Amino acid sequence: MEYPQLKLENQLCHRLYMASNRIIRNYREPLELLDLTYPQYIVMMALWENDGISIAELLEKTSIDGGAMTQILKKMTDKSLLSIVKDEDDKRKRIIKLETHGAELRHKAADIPDKIKCSFAHMTEQEAQQLIELLDKVNQG
């Protein structure tokens, strides 16, 4: 081949794309039981960790695009998982609060990380930690 740099097998980005798709597919079944999409699950994890944060803080924590986040929050509000209220100190700011149903899902979701980890049984804990560190470097930009 005249341009080996264009071979798919030489592309880091394609490997990341394939890995991302595989991981999200692995989440599909356990998340269907909770009636959540993967992006909604990411939002829920952020809120389970820190309920009552602003939309700006949520965007920063999750790295989800603002336009996509608007749609995600709308659907989650419609499912009665969360509510969006005005900040009492700054009326321009919107705060996201878990509703009872959203808070209760935390217990049902508690085993999902272990289920996903099982789908990577061929990887050691050390390799998984190494991968996390490498991906953090990639995501620092």
Cβ contacts of 121 within 8 Å, gap of 6 or more: none
Q: What is the pLDDT of residue 90?
A: 85
Residue 92 carries which side chain, given as an amino acid letter? R
Q: For the segment 14-50, what is each residue's pLDDT rounded down to a tens digit? A: 999 999 999 999 999 999 999 999 999 999 999 999 9
Domains and CATH numbers, the chain: 11-139 (1.10.10.10)
Q: What is the pLDDT of residue 1?
A: 64
Is the pLDDT reported for residue 121 higher than 90? Answer: no
Separation between Cα atoms, residue 138 and residue 141, nearest integer Å: 6
Half-sphere exposure of 130 (CA within 13 A, CB side): 5
Q: For the segment 39-84, what is each residue's pLDDT rounded down to a tens digit? A: 999 999 999 999 999 999 999 999 999 999 999 999 999 999 999 9
Task: Report which DSSP code applies to 5.
Answer: G
Average pLDDT over residues 5-15: 91
Whether the CB-CB separation of 62 and 50 falls below 8 Å is answered with no
Q: What is the pLDDT of residue 87?
A: 85
Whether the CB-CB separation of 109 and 41 falls below 8 Å is answered with yes
